[in-house]
Amino acid sequence: MKRLLLTVIMATIMLTGILNPALAQQQNSSIPVLIDGIPITMNTPPVIQDGRTMVPFRALAEALGVNVTWDGTAQTVHATDGNRSIKLQIGSGTAYRNEAPVTLDAPPLVTGGRTLIPLRFFSEAFDCQVVWDGSVKITSPPREMFVTGFYALGDPGTSSWTNLFGVQYPATDQGKTGLVSELALGWYSLDETGNLLTKSKQNWQRPDGWEDVLKAAGQYNLQTEMVVQLADGDGTLTELLASDTAVQNSISAIVAEARLYGGVNLDFEGLGYSQTGAELEAVRQSFNSYVSQLAKQLHTTGNSLSLSLHPPNSSFKGYDYQALGQHADQIIIMAYDYGTKPEPAHLVTQAVEMAAAVVPPAKLSLGVSIPSETAESLPAKIGIAKRYNLGGMSLWRLGLLSEQMWDTLEINVQAK
């Protein structure tokens, strides 16, 4: 008797799900949807109808930067990303892509006030790659970006040269050079009096044969910039910024050395960790002034200036993104070292949103710490840069990227 009762109850639940579309939709509400590795929050979840996955059109399209409009009278939805135009009508099995008719697997439907369309059409319409494995994983088309690869001294197992060119020094080959726009050469530092160093206490040093790197970069059309790195752990940076003489000495030395490169990357770390109030404001103003003076002199000689900055949601508050963005040609948001690995996507997203609120996104580059990421976590970081239309991304550092990471980069990005 108990077994019969259980059978009746189960049959009733199954029939209710079939006959009640609202309940059937609720059962599908657990289908996760990710674009470029980032989960999408939707008011209306995907549903499975007649074996077809139907996805909410507006939520996914807008996550890809596509403009969507709805014509309630004609029951049609229009969408464009500037290159492609899409038109669908509720209940119609024919859609239009760039005015050419396309037969749909299933007609669009409206549920909960939202338009749902077949996943297959969505992916084809916007040149996306889609994987279905119990969740919907959408990879948007490759986006053109400026990709900076940090080139620094490693060891035979983590050689920037071998990782980039695919062969051991001093031989060269195309290797991964087509996936990188620029080499940021981590070879310089400063002392408290403004002297330019080619070997520092933090092990930033210019290697033997450094001229070969510049020659190879030119051979494969890679831009170059000299990285000047200085951390404030022992107060050296604060001392330098407080001395007009040291400031002028360092700027003159950097500008003179920059003639060998296309630009300069300034990586002054640790500012504003312990200061508050007027003292913090003084630190911010001293760095703003330094950047302003350096940028002005570099621009007169045809060199660019980029800044590697702690993210605005870090503990280092000595960086006025809005003011710095007016002087620098590019700002790299070092959105890492949050304390967990891989770096939490929600904090990286928050950092990008805060920076983009005061600096044009085209001037921003998302810094990715390769030691903090995996081949599985990297797509989400690239996806954040794509989602917010950043001008580029940077990789710390060459020598540490696995083949799977390079493959991910190739799928997602077209290096400018």
Is residue 15 situated within a structural domain?
Answer: no
Q: What is the mean pLDDT of residues 332-347?
A: 97
| CATH number for position 70 | 3.30.457.10
Pick the closest to residue 402 from 380, 371, 381 (CA basis). Answer: 371
Helix (H, G, I), strand (E, B) or coil at 356: helix
Task: Please tell me whether residues 105 and 150 are part of one structural domain.
Answer: no
| CA atoms of 246 and 292, how far apart (whole Å) | 16
Single pTM value for the model: 0.89
Report d(CA 393, CA 332) in Å as an integer: 8
**Model pLDDT for residues 215-242, shown as the tens digit of each residue:** 999 999 999 999 999 999 888 999 999 9
**341 in the same domain as 356:** yes
Domain shared by 88 and 151, yes or no: no
Domain boundary among 91, 108, 139: 139
* pLDDT for residue 379: 94
Q: Residue 24 above 80 pLDDT?
A: no
CATH number, domain at 256? 3.20.20.80
CB count in 10 Å sphere of residue 209: 11
Residue 366 corresponds to which tokens in the numbers above?
A: 């998302």
Residue 19: inside a domain, yes or no? no
Do 53 and 91 lie in one domain? The reply is yes
Q: What is the pLDDT of residues 115-139, one digit of tens each?
A: 999 888 888 888 998 888 888 889 9
- The domain in which residue 51 lies consists of 26-139
Coil, strand, or helix at residue 377? coil
- Whether 151 is in a domain gets the answer yes
Structural domains of the chain, count: 2
Query: Are 162 and 286 found together in one domain?
Result: yes
Tell me the C-alpha distance between 291 and 268, whole Å.
Answer: 10
* pLDDT at res. 46: 87
Please, what is the end-to-end C-alpha distance for the chain in angstroms? 72
The secondary structure of residue 342, as a DSSP letter, is: S
Per-residue 3-state assignment (H helix, E strand, C coil) for 156-169 = HHHCHHHHHHCCCC
Q: What are the backbone dihedrals phi and psi of residue 170, each rounded to the nearest 5 degrees, phi first? A: -100, 10
Among 139, 157, 177, the domain boundary falls at 139
Q: Three-class SS of residue 56?
A: strand
Do 154 and 134 lie in one domain? The reply is no
pLDDT digits 0-9 by tens, 295-313: 999 999 999 999 999 999 9
Residue 366 makes CB contacts below 8 A (sequence gap 6+) with: 332, 333, 335, 348, 352, 381, 384, 385, 390, 392, 393, 394
Same domain assignment for residues 231 and 307: yes
Domain boundary among 91, 118, 139: 139
Query: What average pLDDT is seen over the chain?
Result: 90
